[in-house]
Amino acid sequence: MQKVVLLGFGNVGFHTAKALEAANTIDLLQVYNRNNKTLFSEIKAETTTNISEIKQNADVYIIAIPDDAIQEFTKSLPLKNKLVVHTSGSAAMNAIGNGNRKGVFYPLQTFSKNTEVDFKTIPILIESEHKEDSETLRVLASAISYTVKTISSTQREKLHLAAVFVNNFVNELYHISEEIVQENELDFKLLQPLILETAAKVTRLTPKEAQTGPAKRKDEKTLKKHVHLLHGKQAKKIYKMLTEAILKRYKN
């Protein structure tokens, strides 16, 4: 059994705790959060809000707190020479304070409190300062996910950047689209099957193969009409820029 202490109980912490508890090769000893959480009642592990009570006998300490708080927080940990990993896509491994063995345990997904996730399908990207800790992290991650990969901090920050495009930026396009339909007394729900299929399509085809639409087929008439139909200055600019990007890809 691998003994784990989880530090932080936001969205990532909550779902990670549930996944760790569901794995029968893992013993989640304790969950720490700086204040009490009602969701504490949903897990079986011991909980604490007192940093000095953190147990000393875990094999791995997983930090799931906001990126910019990692550095300060790890300095305050009453731990020495333990394997301490964070769960951030963009924070450097070195954000973890000295005195402990550093590592990263990054589950690549967006988590919401009220949504069950199938953790097994979420890739976990691991990294460790010391070679001997790599196997510990691999075994731990493999107990809760089908996809575990060791990548460097450089690769991880690029992966996180790519994730911003497919998650935050895609969501902003959903937002613009919602505004367009609502202005015209239409329900955003009408677009849901298209949204889901657009995402599903790139699990079967490459984005290059999956593309369709007026920009791909250089349909100048429709492109012009669309720019004209858009009210917002920002939406117009985004339309033009993404159209230009698609036109460039398919110019030959």
- For its own copies, which residue of 51, 200, 218, 224 counts as binding (CB under 8 A)? 200
User: For residues 61-90, which are near its own copies according to CB under 8 A?
Assistant: 67-68, 90
- For its own copies, which residue of 35, 203, 251, 252 counts as binding (CB under 8 A)? 203
Region of 29-37, 45-53, 134-142, 244-252 interacting with its own copies (CB under 8 A): 244-252
Beta bridge partners of 223: none
Please state, in angstroms and rounded to a whole number, the distance separating the CA atoms of residues 67 and 18: 21
User: For residues 161-190, which are near its own copies according to CB under 8 A?
Assistant: 161-178, 180-181, 183-186, 188, 190
Residue number, 66 or 130, with CB nearest to its own copies: 66
Q: What SS3 state is found at 85? A: strand
Q: CB 227 → its own copies: shortest distance, Å? A: 10
Residue number, 54 or 141, with CB nearest to its own copies: 141
C-alpha atoms less than 13 angstroms from C-alpha of 146 in its C-beta half-sphere: 5
- Whether the CB-CB separation of 28 and 20 falls below 8 Å is answered with yes
Q: Does 222 bind its own copies (CB under 8 A)?
A: yes
Contact residues for 125 (Cβ-Cβ < 8 A; gap 6+):
104, 106, 108, 149, 150, 151, 156, 159
- Whether the CB-CB separation of 141 and 4 falls below 8 Å is answered with no
Q: CB 116 → its own copies: shortest distance, Å? A: 11
Q: Does 109 bind its own copies (CB under 8 A)?
A: yes
Q: CB 213 → its own copies: shortest distance, Å? A: 4
**Distance between start and end Cα atoms, the chain:** 57
